[in-house]
Structure 1
Amino acid sequence: MAAEVTCAPEADPPVTTIRLILGDQLSPGLSSLCDIDKDTDVVLMAEVMAECTYVKHHKKKIAFVLSAMRHFADELEADGVNVDYIKLKDRGNTGTLKGEAERALKRHKADKLIVTRPGEYRLQEDMESWSQDLGIDVEFRDDDRFIATLAEFNDWAQDRKELRMEYFYREMRRKTGFLMTDDGEPEGGKWNYDKDNRKSLPDKIDFPGPSQFTPDDITEEVLDLVEAEFADHFGDARPFSFAVKRHQAEHALKRFIDHALPCFGDYQDAMTNRDPHLFHSILAAYINVGLLDPHAVCAAGEKAYEAGNAPLNAVEGFIRQIIGWREFVRGVYWHEMPDYKTRNILRADRPLPDFFWTGDTRMACMAQAIGQTKQHAYAHHIQRLMVTGNFALLAGLDTDEVNDWYMCVYADAYEWVELPNTHGMALWADGGILGSKPYAASGKYIERMSDHCKGCAYNVKEQATEDACPFNALYWDFIARHEQRFDGNHRMGLVLNSLRKMDGGKLTALRKRAGNLLEDLDSL
């Protein structure tokens, strides 16, 4: 009699999960990667035209992100991760993240997609429909690379009449312990040393410059691609010296800490024709794509202070930019979207002058800021706020055009960080949500904080003459135009009193000069 054979039930095939990594999520500790099964899961990374062109990003930014993506894919593969990488010109590339997710799901017979929530509202809104459209489960995970969760920010913001970075920043100091004493007090007895960070540059001073890296074969291939496919985008792709690998970004951090941080505090608001970078870190682009961890960056700064290698005002100012402003603007962005972007409290609608794209202007400060932006995809925060942003504010330039310009021209620009800084802080289009007063200034501020005025075609000492600095007349015209709106704002009291005491003939001359300037901004 034959023995009875019992067949074991056939095992279910392993479930394949696609884990989509975006171009600004190049962190091995990303939430969507934390529990990856290297035997069954597939990481999808895709270069798509839609993300390169929803605004016409600077050539250097596109090259930086695509090269960093390709190097991160190599990093993951070296760690045993199965990466499905789609290049921009690969055959069949749909040009959209949704299209590439759909193709990958079919290609790998996967039934689940995991993604860390994107930083930009437009992309999150699009992804919310993917589960229904693609007929699969889409799991969204919070981006835990920030110091504060969005829920923490919303809890902090709830029922507050005003959202002010300074008070949120103090909460972040307490949470992280950065520059805090054992008894819970701020190091040095003050929370903020901003008043110690406004020194003018001496005539003779050496600038260390940021780390610069020679492009490897991967980056050279990307640069060729960018110059061919995005020739009509703003800026210069070459020369290219950005870090595109993690160890390079870490080297850039170390160089800043060792050579620039000691002087960063004193001169962080200064501007000069002599150097585009001064003592700034140039690390924002690396932090924003995930090559550097913001907490680790702050810890490196704090360590330099504790070792006596950098003064408190420098380290506090540096840490404040990261756990203060960076975290605060992200919180405001998600707290106020989607209608935040459409607010235009000052009704600014004048077209953006052509010189914002060419840098061809006789205003030396604007030419410097735009020219170095074209070359480096970078200008420091005072140039962005008090030169290009200040001009846009005073001239009443169209808020949509200005916001798009800032998104187009900087390597570190993502809407979650750029929109609040531009729309709220520089343009005051949100009516005071981000900042209590407009950051408006005449040419006197630029003269005090820079050497631009010395070689300018315009005379910063003059007010209403034909060769007077345009910022002077535009400033007083701006204040006069919006006098009623600013009335009652306690931070605008002094300037409004000056306006009301000004000789009528002088004000008339200033406003006439401003009117002439505004009629033909392209001629400046």
Structure 2
Amino acid sequence: MGALRLVLGDQLSEDLSALADIGPGDTVLMAEVADEATYVRHHKQKLVLVFAAMRAHAERLSAAGHTVRYVALDDPGNTGSLAGEIERAVAETGCDGLIRTLCGEWRLEQALNAAAERLSIPVEAREDSRFICSSGRFQAWAQGKRQLGMEFFYREMRRETGLLMDGDQPEGGQWNYDAENRKKLPAGTAAPRRRRFPPGENTRAVMALVEQRFSNHFGDLDTFDWPVTRDEAEAALSHFLADILPAFGDWQDAMTEGQAFLWHGLVSTSLNLGLLDPLDVCRRAEAEYRKGRAPLNAVEGFIRQVLGWREFVRGIYWLKVPEYRQRNALDADRTLPWFYWSGDTDMACVGDVVTQARQHAYAHHIQRLMVTGNLAMLLGVHPDPVDDWYMVVFADAFEWVEMPNTRAWRPLLTVASWVQSPMPRPGPTSTVWATTAQGAATA
């Protein structure tokens, strides 16, 4: 008999390591399970996004001639957990081995390792090759360093990939053009029309299932329009590169009331599900600069978010877990205010972010950092409920990208300066905790 090849909901890449040498006798296992839908109460749109993208990917694998065992959420035999579905598939298929790609989250990796010990067949867990920097490569870079700074990691990744390099020097003579990417949006400036993807028949079926099973989860469903197929993800990226990237640098940090998307990339969901390859995305952005269609500050700013920050926080996550999950460096102890869920507050910027998150499961990195993150920090909110909130409300949120951004393995200099200032602190807590940019994958 052949091997069982496990594909998770955030591993929807054609070049997934678990499928690298798939043979005609092998079976691909994909499963929608309640455990993964409810370990936090994910936004309804996130559940639709993942399940619909999984179903589309399963169809693609089947069309390529692979045998796919797909377990839908409402399958009568669904055990409700990935471990249960692996054990059921092993028993029913008679496979002689399990091959999988390492999980994106420590929690799930531990669960699958425990399940492997109960199996009577060998299990092979392969490196996740869908990132530009492997975990081992990051650990080698971090070895012996007293401080781990994203900027220096980013420069090394630029040198290794050759992205935006002029020989051994950065293109344009600077590594970082962030100072040119903070322009204020002039009053009356119209946001560009963004390409979105109304749900097709298969996605609408998933929407009905999610509404039936998870009606008490946060979020609206009638505004769902995220790309769920590889073709849609490619179309979204092409639209961004051609129509949006030229002004991305100038306005990437801008906020304006009632405008959810502005000039943002909107490719984070597709990157984090595996529908887009991060190095390919960066090379295609660079090509826009080389062809004179986008300025350097825009392209460098975009590549820095993908090649720099996204890869950096993923490396930090795997370097620091599981201890990282317990960090509360500044001993914050308050609960998360209810207006983070309701949006019912006189703080217009906060209300706008919550409304936007409810409608689109999205906010860009400045809204996540400067608005919701900094407010939680100033209020002295314990990082656990903040972790959960980010995981719930955003469609692109996975623990590897979210936790390093809220736990802040060291306080930011700006926060340290604030703590040391003579200004009175808000509330009874003796310290505050630091939040770094939530823009790891929100380019």
TM range, smaller chain: over 0.9
**CA-CA distance at 1:147 after TM superposition:** 0.6
Residue pair 2:390, 2:402 contacting (<8 A) in 1 also: yes
Counterpart amino acid of 1:253? L
CA distance in 2, matches of 1:75, 1:319: 29
TM-score (normalised: structure 2): 0.94
Equivalent position SS for 1:128: helix
Q: Does 1:410 align with 2:410?
A: no
CA distance in 1, matches of 2:228, 2:253: 28
CA distance in 2, matches of 1:100, 1:282: 33
CA distance in 1, matches of 2:315, 2:414: 20
1:398 to 372, 379, 382: 382
Residue pair 2:178, 2:297 contacting (<8 A) in 1 also: yes
CA distance in 2, matches of 1:16, 1:227: 37
Residue pair 2:258, 2:352 contacting (<8 A) in 1 also: no
2:10 to 13, 20, 24: 24
Number of aligned residues? 430
CA distance in 1, matches of 2:321, 2:5: 27
1:109 to 69, 72, 94: 94
**CA-CA distance at 1:111 after TM superposition:** 2.0
Q: Does 1:68 align with 2:53?
A: yes
Q: Which residue of 2 aligns with 1:170?
A: 155
Superposition map of 1:180-329 within 5 A: 180-181=165-166, 183-329=167-313
CA distance in 1, matches of 2:407, 2:356: 22
Q: Which residue of 2 aligns with 1:77?
A: 62
Counterpart amino acid of 1:384? R
Q: Which residue of 1 aligns with 2:107?
A: 122
CA distance in 2, matches of 1:402, 1:215: 30
Q: Does 1:33 align with 2:19?
A: yes
CA distance in 1, matches of 2:401, 2:204: 29
**CA-CA distance at 1:296 after TM superposition:** 1.1
**CA-CA distance at 1:515 after TM superposition:** 4.6
Q: Which residue of 1 aligns with 2:145?
A: 160
CA distance in 1, matches of 2:233, 2:413: 35
CA distance in 1, matches of 2:219, 2:258: 20
Counterpart amino acid of 1:203? A
User: Which stretches of structure 1, 4 residues or more, deviate above 4 A after TM superposition?
Assistant: none
CA distance in 2, matches of 1:387, 1:102: 44
Q: Does 1:438 align with 2:407?
A: no
Q: Deviations over 1:175-195 (max 9, x none)?
A: 1111001x2110000000011
Residue pair 1:209, 1:277 contacting (<8 A) in 2 also: no
Residue pair 2:4, 2:97 contacting (<8 A) in 1 also: yes
> What is the alpha-carbon root mean square deviation over aligned residues?
1.7
CA distance in 1, matches of 2:194, 2:123: 41
Q: Which residue of 2 aligns with 1:52?
A: 37
TM-score (normalised: structure 1): 0.80
CA distance in 2, matches of 1:351, 1:417: 22
Q: Which residue of 1 aligns with 2:319?
A: 335
Equivalent position SS for 2:169: coil
CA distance in 2, matches of 1:129, 1:185: 47
2:75 to 69, 85, 90: 90
**CA-CA distance at 1:134 after TM superposition:** 1.6
**CA-CA distance at 1:332 after TM superposition:** 0.4
Q: Does 1:140 align with 2:122?
A: no
The 1:307/1:335 distance shift into structure 2, 3 A limit, reads same
Counterpart amino acid of 1:305? Y
Equivalent position SS for 1:218: helix
Counterpart amino acid of 1:75? R
Q: Which residue of 2 aligns with 1:384?
A: 368
Residue pair 1:60, 1:376 contacting (<8 A) in 2 also: yes
Gaps of 5+ in 1: 1-14, 425-429, 441-478, 484-495, 500-506, 517-524
Equivalent position SS for 2:281: helix
Structure of larger gyration radius: 1
Q: Does 1:371 align with 2:350?
A: no
Equivalent position SS for 1:146: coil
Equivalent position SS for 1:129: helix
**CA-CA distance at 1:209 after TM superposition:** 3.8
Q: Which residue of 1 aligns with 2:438?
A: none
Residue pair 1:390, 1:439 contacting (<8 A) in 2 also: no
Q: Which residue of 1 aligns with 2:436?
A: none
CA distance in 1, matches of 2:60, 2:208: 23
Counterpart amino acid of 1:83? V
CA distance in 1, matches of 2:414, 2:348: 26
Percent same amino acid among aligned pairs?
52
**CA-CA distance at 1:436 after TM superposition:** 4.5
CA distance in 2, matches of 1:292, 1:242: 14
Relative contact order higher in (CA < 8 Å, ≥ 6 apart): 2
Equivalent position SS for 2:266: coil
**CA-CA distance at 1:392 after TM superposition:** 0.3
Residue pair 2:317, 2:403 contacting (<8 A) in 1 also: yes
Residue pair 1:57, 1:408 contacting (<8 A) in 2 also: yes
Residue pair 1:130, 1:138 contacting (<8 A) in 2 also: no
CA distance in 1, matches of 2:195, 2:415: 35
The 1:515/1:44 distance shift into structure 2, 3 A limit, reads closer
Q: Which residue of 2 aligns with 1:519?
A: none
**CA-CA distance at 1:19 after TM superposition:** 0.2
